[in-house]
Amino acid sequence: MLENNLPGWRQDLKSSRKKEGKSPSNRWIQLATVDEKNEPRLRTVVFRGWHKDSSMIIFTDRRSKKIEHLKSNHNAEVLWFFLKTKSQYRFKGKISELSDSKNYWDTLSEKSKSSWFWGSPGERINPKVQSSCEKLSQIPKSENFVVLNFEIDSVDLLKLEQPIHKRYLWEKIKGWEKIEINP
Ligand SMILES: Cc1cc2nc3c(=O)[nH]c(=O)nc-3n(C[C@H](O)[C@H](O)[C@H](O)COP(=O)(O)O)c2cc1C
């Protein structure tokens, strides 16, 4: 733990993010879930900030496949890669839905809000549904808007460095002690 009680890996991550610069892609992470056939499923999502010291917020659509997966298996992994520092963070944990999503909805632009009124993700496109709320100026919170809380249990950081790569592991169960492991 750091002095301010944040898990130590938060400082490493902060430093990687800072060096990466202020690009929207700095917040793109890869989220893996396990489907009903016990097969891995992976997609890019946006990191929307921290809920608690070691839990991340992700917004999604209730009709998306990941919601089905999470109903039967709440285990997930998030991968966050930083090009400038050649750092790969692998976060393992569990996902639940936050019941109070209104405040998060209010942070979205009107353009972004409208995407929750598009047709069901993955279904055959219907141009009429696509434009259903584009003329509204104030968009009410969509029933499809879901805020996911990804509660992190462990963090595995691999840094490609010369002459030897570095790899560290933090586990919540071990009080987030930083352990150096073989790369
Ligand atoms: C750059 C980028 C950012 C994305 N951000 C999100 C996001 O924040 N939430 C989300 O649910 N899907 C996001 N998507 C779409 C997902 O990658 C995915 O296509 C969608 O969530 C459906 O996935 P699923 O059917 O496996 O649930 C993003 C895609 C890209 C390319």
| CATH number, residue 77 | 2.30.110.10
Position 72 in a domain:
yes
Answer yes or no: is 126 within a domain: no
| Number of structural domains in the chain | 1
Regions of the chain short of the pLDDT cut 50: none
Instruction: Tell me whether residue 89 is in a domain.
Output: yes
Please tell me whether residue 91 adopts helix, strand or coil conformation: strand
In a domain, 137, yes or no: no
In a domain, 61, yes or no: yes
Ligand 1: distance of its center to the CA of 58 in Å? 10
| Whole-structure pTM value | 0.94
Residue of 25, 44, 63 with the most ligand 1 atoms within 8 Å of its CB, for mutation: 44
C-alpha distances in angstroms, 70 versus 35, 38, 66, 73, 78?
Answer: 8, 12, 6, 5, 14
| pLDDT score, position 68 | 97
Q: Which domain holds residue 93?
A: 8-105+145-181
From 27, 31, 34, 46, mutation site for ligand 1 pocket: most ligand atoms within 8 A of C-beta:
46
Predicted confidence at residue 143, as pLDDT, reads 95
- For residue 43, the model assigns a pLDDT of 98
